[in-house]
Amino acid sequence: MSEHDPTAEAADANAAARSRLLADVAALPPRPGVYRYFDAQGGVLYVGKARDLKKRVSSYFQKNHAGTRIGHMIERIVRMETTVVRSEAEALLLENNLIKTLSPHYNILFRDDKSYPYLKITAARDAGETVVHSAAAFPRMAYYRGAVERRHHYFGPYPSAWSVKETIHLLQKVFRLRTCEDTVFANRSRPCLLYQIKRCSGPCVGTVSRADYAEDVANAERFLRGEADEVMQALQAQMMARAEALEYEKAAEIRDQVGALSRVLHQQAVEVSTGSAFDKDADILAVKVHGGRACVNLAMVRGGRHLGDRPYFPIHVDEASALTALEAADRRGEPTPEVQVLEAFIAQHYTSAPPPQLLVLSHAVDKALIAALVQASGVKVTSLHQPREQRRGWLDMAIHGAELALARLLAEEGSQQTRTRALAEALDLARDDLERFRVECFDISHTAGEATQASCVVYEGHRMQSAQYRRYNIEGITGGDDYAAMRQVLLRRYGKLAAQGAPADDAAPSAVANLPDLVLVDGGKGQVAMAREAFEELGIDLSLIVGVEKGEGRKVGLEELVFADGRDKVYLGADSAALMLIAQIRDEAHRFAITGMRARRASVRTGGSRLEDIAGIGPKKRARLLQRFGGVKGVGDASVQDLATVDGISKELAEEIYRALH
């Protein structure tokens, strides 16, 4: 009877998997499509598209790539999936949707979980003849982020919230449109401060007619579409007509509006001088690659106005560059890393955001990519490389922005890596892989014992990992007892982890898996003593615990480190890179704890959770209700009819609120 040989069985299984993979490759059709490579654990290694699936995928397995990054990837491939499509446009869409969803290790990936902000002008609604100055009849402008509604008007996208708010500020100066919520509008009896400083025409108190306000709205929208000259001419004509009709007061108001618009146009750093329709909406893309990192700087021109720029930093640049030689089979020559990054950005960014008519690029990209983008988006897109005159100025600004952003990123990463290394060395932590060096820091926050909350923040990979932050509501202790709160949060944080990774009888307590390399506690001997009790109860190595004790006079830079395992206190020095990192982590834990405690305290004091527990009441509707009625008590005292007067609250929802609060 032969002995069982796990190694031989694993080798046979790998050989069988490789044989099936090669058979799948041989059976591929010579048609356009998208392919995915998977490793033995089911992880996605790479997603690619091809004009000819059979030719492209076969090229990976026909040559010897031993000793290279691509060879390492090919060795890990155990399974492949393909999807045949009808055109390159379909392949482009599918490929980049899969890249965003699956985050493969060998694709250039741009991560951005934020949608772009817009400037929103609400649609006017007929409020009937009985309501002379209803909010419905006077559109408002506002900063907006989210799904668009067809009945309202949206302008953008803008690269940042600041650029939207700056545009609103300009429109307030010139066209004096309202920005207040409808509930505020409905409850005003006197003009607000914005009216006093000539930033609003005061429709809430009847200082402007519907017709004149509608004219201001129309002019503001034309201005946002890049028709500033036409708006200026129309205003000048209105001013002359009012003067000829002896309406001098109205003519003077329009004169002031013309002057404000003239000053706004004069202040714009970037003006369109060509008159081309393309120049009213354009994106300028500049790429810079250096030090293994890359930056794509996106500058936006909308309505002829330069709205600012926004840098993007992709990951997996080096890994993707290793595949360039094979991917270049369908093209003339091998694209540079800059071109690869720029093409990846265009493909990924404009599959979810509508492209403008003009793309001004720092590097020439594949024409097939632009053609596929046109087909997929339905927008006639023109790409321009090596522009002149005005467009050259745009591109130079974007290139300079990319260089500055990348230099800042490399400096910050270099500084953080230096700090991480300094901390590991200062505490004699034997960690070869600093990329996985993990620190967790705890802080307790409350107000005179009320709404006690503990925070845990995580530092790993040379940066704060905000997605891994956690808050813990502390219950069952005497109010203000920070020591008991610290003990409770540590037991809750590491209790299950210690139980899951309990060491064997002959193993050291530090053998518990998945623990951080360092546990920072904001406090001195008392806090560290509580942490020591918790770790002793859980059987965890005490050397992980370090307390950050305030120095003399609680001055920054004089902090000392207190150890739970009996070592003497250590003062690292105000200029120590290790202390700078500790202070950074400690301050982030304090900030996170304070914000959570304040939110919880506000909920306790106002009873806001009662509203939040009602289905259909989100943060915005809750805020409107509290603002309209002055607090939860006022909401509870309101009738169904009163509740239904709040914007966004239907009669059915008003009845539900009334039932829940009574």
Please spell the DSSP secondary structure of 167-216, one letter per residue.
Answer: HHHHHHHHT--B-S-HHHHHT-SS--HHHHTTS---GGGTSS-HHHHHHH
In a 13 Å sphere around the CA of 297, the CA atoms on its Cβ side amount to 23
For the domain spanning 7-102, the CATH number is 3.40.1440.10
The CA distance from 626 to 452, in Å, is 25
* Cα 598 off chain centre by: 24
Q: How far is CA 340 from CA 236, 316, 322, 354, 358, in A?
A: 51, 12, 11, 21, 20
* Inter-residue long-range contacts of 69-73, CB under 8 Å, 24+ positions, other chains counted: 69/318, 69/319, 69/322, 70/322, 70/323, 70/325, 70/326, 73/37, 73/45, 73/46, 73/106, 73/319, 73/322, 73/323
Helix residue ranges, H only, 331-388? 337-349, 367-377
pLDDT value of position 286? 94
Report CA Rg, the chain: 31
Q: Are 376 and 93 in contact (CB under 8 A)?
A: yes
Instruction: Tell me the pLDDT tens digit for each residue of 55-67.
Output: 888 888 877 766 6
pLDDT value of position 131? 47
In a 13 Å sphere around the CA of 633, the CA atoms on its Cβ side amount to 3
pLDDT value of position 271? 44
For the domain spanning 434-603, the CATH number is 3.30.420.340
pLDDT value of position 334? 66
State the maximum Cα–Cα separation within the chain, in Å, rounded to a whole number: 115
Q: Are 627 and 181 in contact (CB under 8 A)?
A: yes
Q: Which of 337, 345, 376, 369 is nearest to 99 (CA)?
A: 345
Question: Token match 């998208």: residue?
Answer: 34
CATH topology of domain 277-407: Nucleotidyltransferase; domain 5 (3.30.420)
Class of domain 607-661 (CATH, top level): mainly alpha
The CA distance from 228 to 26, in Å, is 61
Helix residue ranges, H only, 225-293? 228-244, 248-267
Q: Are 332 and 367 in contact (CB under 8 A)?
A: no
Q: CA angle, 94 as apex, 156 and 52 as ends, to 5°?
A: 130
The CA distance from 428 to 430, in Å, is 6
Q: Integer distance in angstroms from the first to the last C-alpha of the chain?
A: 79
- Start and end residues for every CATH 3.30.420.340 domain found in the chain: 434-603
- Start and end residues for every CATH 1.10.150.20 domain found in the chain: 607-661
In this structure, what DSSP letter does residue 477 have?
Answer: S
The low-confidence residues of the chain, meaning pLDDT below 50, are 1, 129-131, 268-278, 502-513, 605-609
The CA distance from 177 to 169, in Å, is 10
The CA distance from 17 to 11, in Å, is 10
The length of the chain in residues reads: 662
Any residues with CB less than 8 A from the CB of 481 and at least 6 apart, and which? none
Question: Token match 């509508």: residue?
Answer: 354
| pTM exceeds cut of 0.85 | no
The CA distance from 60 to 82, in Å, is 15
- Start and end residues for every CATH 3.40.1440.10 domain found in the chain: 7-102
Q: Are 95 and 347 in contact (CB under 8 A)?
A: yes
The CA distance from 545 to 524, in Å, is 11
pLDDT value of position 441? 93
The CA distance from 376 to 356, in Å, is 13
Burial of 167 by CB count in 10 Å (0-12 exposed, 13-18 middle, 19+ buried)?
Answer: buried
Strand partners, 283: 300, 359
Instruction: Tell me the pLDDT tens digit for each residue of 226-236.
Output: 777 777 777 77
Q: Are 431 and 424 in contact (CB under 8 A)?
A: yes
Any residues with CB less than 8 A from the CB of 229 and at least 6 apart, and which? none
Question: Token match 């591109």: residue?
Answer: 395
Q: Which of 645, 640, 615 is nearest to 627 (CA)?
A: 645
The CA distance from 423 to 328, in Å, is 44
pLDDT value of position 85? 86
